[in-house]
């Protein structure tokens, strides 16, 4: 079979890289398409996947709408040349429109409830929508829920073992604790009108945290000159090792907040958007603290992270958080190569998915 994956964000490479690699090893053909987005291309090169670049859109809602036509036309050209049997994405509207025009089935994964515009414009053209079981919106008859998180497609215990050698590359000693701060670009369609924390507040955070921790910053955007010294300089493919051994994680990114919780590193989540279902579960299990007001954030750091803090108490919480979740990559492989029969099997017996733990 031939499979085309469309990538809209670097995280999507991680979502599909393990299943795509297995597909290739089993003799199937795989191709990725992507917009020019951050490190997505670097990741595809790192994992040795063939890909086609579709270009880069400009910021702003109007420009994004105008680029829908261009991206859709370019994907159609790729489809007609590659001739895939199945199209797969993390709810790419371009791929959904192309699938309708080319009459090729498309599977769209989603886990972000507040991306309402994307959901409404993509769902009608997607053959099947797949979401975590905690997804709070019912998308109708073409909706399949799986008992896992997107991040478990690559962070499940069967797929990922933290590499402690990352500490030497960070110049971290055995007795030294560090905190990772993640800043996002705020240019996604569901981020319009949002801007994240100010540079002044970033400095306040760092000054306070430095009392006890070494600080690293992972940022999608440029940092003020005086904060560049804190920028994380490891290879992007090592970010999950960095997260694994951090004492705590402070984040504007929902995806990385979920990754951190899955790895057992407690998260201070500063994004003012409502919690998605998967983050709500991390919060209920005591791994995520959703705080948005600057005063409350500083109080949390002072009363929690700087006062007799121990990461050990979060290991049990992590185990509870993911104990019953399926190995999503193994599930996806079975589902993709057997589609559409796999959908019929799961409609009749949703528990069949637990064969992939």
| Residue spans per domain, the chain | 2-156+325-356, 166-322
What pLDDT, on a 0 to 100 scale, did the predictor assign at position 192? 40
What pLDDT, on a 0 to 100 scale, did the predictor assign at position 300? 92
Upstream peptide bond of 316 is cis (omega within 30 degrees of 0): no
Element (DSSP H or E) covering residue 294:
helix 294-300
What pLDDT, on a 0 to 100 scale, did the predictor assign at position 120? 92
pLDDT < 70 positions in the chain: 37, 58-61, 185-196
What pLDDT, on a 0 to 100 scale, did the predictor assign at position 191? 41
Give me the CATH topology for the region 2-156+325-356. Rossmann fold (3.40.50)
Between the alpha carbon of residue 135 and those of residues 228, 274, 275, the distances in Å are 37, 13, 11
Do 2-156+325-356 and 166-322 fold alike per CATH? yes
What pLDDT, on a 0 to 100 scale, did the predictor assign at position 198? 85
Considering the domain 166-322 in this protein, what is its CATH number? Answer: 3.40.50.2000
Beta bridge partners of 128: 107
């Amino acid at each position: 079979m031939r499979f085309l994956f469309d990538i809209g964000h670097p995280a999507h490479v991680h979502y599909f890289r393990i299943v795509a690699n297995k597909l290739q090893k089993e003799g199937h053909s795989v191709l990725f398409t992507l917009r020019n987005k951050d490190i997505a291309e670097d990741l595809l090169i790192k994992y040795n996947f063939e890909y086609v670049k579709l270009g880069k859109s400009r910021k702003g809602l109007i420009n994004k709408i105008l680029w829908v036509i261009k991206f859709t036309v370019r994907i159609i050209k790729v489809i007609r040349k590659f001739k895939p049997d199945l199209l797969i994405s993390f709810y790419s509207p371009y791929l959904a429109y192309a699938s309708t025009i080319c009459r090729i089935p498309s599977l769209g994964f989603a886990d972000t409830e507040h991306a309402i515009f994307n959901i409404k414009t993509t769902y009608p053209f997607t053959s099947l929508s797949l979401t975590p079981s905690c997804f709070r919106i019912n998308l109708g008859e073409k909706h399949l829920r799986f008992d896992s998180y997107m991040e478990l497609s690559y962070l499940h215990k069967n797929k990922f073992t933290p590499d402690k050698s990352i500490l030497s590359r960070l110049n971290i000693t055995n007795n030294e604790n560090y905190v990772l701060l993640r800043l996002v670009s705020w240019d996604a369609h569901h981020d319009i009108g949002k801007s994240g924390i100010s540079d002044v507040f970033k400095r306040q955070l760092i000054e306070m945290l430095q009392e006890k921790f070494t600080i690293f910053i992972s940022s999608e955007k440029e940092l003020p000159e005086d904060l560049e010294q804190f920028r994380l300089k490891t290879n992007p493919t090592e970010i999950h090792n960095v997260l694994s051994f951090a004492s705590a994680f402070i984040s504007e990114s929902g995806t990385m907040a979920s990754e951190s919780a899955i790895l057992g590193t407690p998260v201070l989540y500063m994004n003012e958007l409502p919690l998605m279902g998967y983050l709500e579960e991390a919060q209920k299990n005591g791994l995520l603290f959703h705080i948005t007001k600057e005063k409350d954030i500083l109080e949390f750091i002072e009363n929690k992270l700087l006062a007799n803090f121990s990461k050990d108490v979060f290991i049990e919480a992590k185990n509870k958080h993911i104990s019953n979740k399926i190995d999503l990559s193994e599930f996806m492989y079975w589902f993709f190569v057997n589609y559409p029969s796999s959908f019929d099997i799961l409609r009749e017996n949703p528990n069949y998915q637990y064969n992939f733990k």
